[in-house]
Amino acid sequence: MSAEPFLPTPAPAPRFGVWFIGARGSVATTAVAGCAAVAAGLHPPTGMVTETPDFASCHLPPLTSLVFGGHDTVDCPLPKRAEHLADGGVLPHGLPAAVHAELVAADREIRPGGPLPGDTSRTDDDWIEVFAADIRDFVRRHELAGAVVVNVASTEPAPADGSLPPSSLYAAAALRAGCPYVNFTPSTGLHHPALAGLAASSGLPYAGRDGKTGQTLLRSVLGPMFAQRALAVRAWSGTNLLGGGDGAALADPAAAAAKNAGKERVLADTLGATPEGEVHIDDVPALGDWKTAWDHIAFDGFLGSRMILQTIWQGCDSALAAPLVLDLARLTARAREKGLTGPLSELAFYFKDPVGDGPSALAEQYTQLRTFAGRLRDNPGVPR
């Protein structure tokens, strides 16, 4: 009687970390809950570009392999935050209970953030080292194959005195911990001049800035349409009504200015010039996590005929942003695994104000993203 052949136990699949800055905010909470729900088959991956056929053979980290943690300055536990989001209609009723264990596990990995305004207890380098040590400890304890740091915190004003704002401290900490960095906010992050050398010498990929979820997404489609049809845009004005943490943060004119810079760049790049008009952002606390964006576009047709196009975008920023954040974490982790370094300009599809050079029209950005997907496959490629 022949012996059964010995079958070695397969090695466990590698796991990857996603370290959120602003880990108890609406976007991070929605991303953690949504990842658990999709991984368990409770909901389809609607809004996740990386779950479409174009990315099927890119060897991206499976959703089941992602481990979450992060920094935050608030202490509301993720399960409670998820319940608030469900009460507001952001998350499906019953989902916080269904993924309670995953929310608790992620909440255990959230460490105190900082510095708060006026806090002079540590130097910039001290803060960077504290944050980097938290990230390194997270990777070590969970025996992760790698981790990506993603900034989803509230928008901060641009620094006025050359000092490093909190977003830049976190960005520097990510690189010091050996992790790729994604800035999904308009905050300074790696854009600070003092971090240019660190970013260039880190040998790590990074992406950003300011996720393109609604009004600017539409502008990146409509702007090229006007240009390609040779229609002269005379003015393009907009208004954003939103509540929640973002609404409160953007009530600060300096923070709003940082946010609007990316919106204006899209129009300038796709139209060839910046039309008249501004974007106004109004904090309406009663709206919670929901947002209404209105655009009024004045343009000339044949023989100077004056015409108007108006658009209204109503949606939930957290639900729009969360699938993109998961996409970016997976794409950037895979880019690191493939040895790519420096600014990932190919991820411009996801951002209002992307790093590196590239097109601003959404269709061209998607073509670029598909080409990038080819680089992530195991076929031979040209190293960066």
Percent of all residues in the chain with a pLDDT value above 90, rounded to a whole number: 78
Measured CA to CA, the distance from residue 21 to residue 8 in angstroms comes to 40
Rounded mean pLDDT, 9-27: 89
Q: Using CA atoms, how far apart are residues 60 and 48, in angstroms rounded to an integer? A: 13
Q: Alpha helices of the chain — where are they, by DSSP H?
A: 26-39, 78-87, 95-98, 100-108, 124-141, 166-176, 196-201, 215-228, 244-250, 253-271, 317-337, 362-376
Instruction: Write down the pLDDT at residue 381.
Output: 42
Host H or E run for residue 67? strand 66-72
- pLDDT band at 6, cuts 50/70/90? low
Residue 150 has φ and ψ, to the nearest 5°, of: -125, 120
CA 370 from chain centre, in angstroms, equals 19
pLDDT tens digits, one per residue of 74-86: 999 999 999 999 9
Give the pLDDT score at 160. 81
Residue 252 has pLDDT above 50, yes or no: yes
Higher-pLDDT residue of 48 and 252 is 48
Ordered DSSP codes for 197-242: HHHHHS--EEEESSB--SHHHHHHHHHHHHHHTT-EEEEEEEEEEE
3-state secondary structure of 349: helix
The whole-number pLDDT of residue 162 equals: 78
The 8 Å CB, 24+ separation contacts for 174-177 are: 174/19, 174/132, 174/135, 174/149, 175/199, 175/202, 175/204, 175/206, 176/128, 176/129, 176/132, 177/131, 177/132, 177/133, 177/135, 177/136, 177/139, 177/147, 177/149
| 247 has a pLDDT exceeding 70 | no
What phi and psi, each to the nearest 5 degrees, are found at residue 131? -65, -45
Give 361-373 as a DSSP string.
SHHHHHHHHHHHH
* 198 Cβ contact list (under 8 Å, min separation 6): 172, 175
Among 57-66, 243-252, 267-276, the minimum mean pLDDT is found in 243-252
How high does pLDDT run on average in the chain? 92
Please name each of the domains of the chain with its CATH number. 16-211+320-376 (3.40.50.720), 215-316 (3.30.360.10)
Task: Give CA–CA dist 172/164, Å, rounded.
Answer: 10
| Tens of pLDDT, residues 331-357 | 999 999 999 999 999 999 999 999 988
- How would residue 383 be classed by pLDDT, with cut points 50, 70 and 90? very low
Distance CA 183, CA 153 (A): 9
**Stretch among 110-119, 158-167, 200-209 having the lowest mean pLDDT:** 158-167
| pLDDT tens by residue, 122-152 | 999 999 999 999 999 999 999 999 999 999 9
pTM of the predicted structure, to 2 decimals? 0.91
pLDDT band at 384 (very low <50, low <70, confident <90, very high): very low
| Cβ neighbourhood burial of 228 (10 Å; 0-12, 13-18, 19+) | exposed
The encoded tokens of residue 78 equal 């993720």
Q: Contact, 237 vs 295, CB < 8 A?
A: yes
Residue 90 has pLDDT above 50, yes or no: yes
Cα separation, 51 vs 60, whole angstroms: 10
State mean pLDDT over 184-208.
96
148 neighbors 18 (Cβ within 8 angstroms): yes
Residues paired with residue 151 on neighbouring β-strands, in sequence order: 21, 183
Omega of the bond leading into 330 within 30 degrees of 0 (cis) = no
- Whether the pLDDT of residue 1 is over 60: the answer is no
Q: Are 36 and 102 in contact (CB under 8 A)?
A: yes
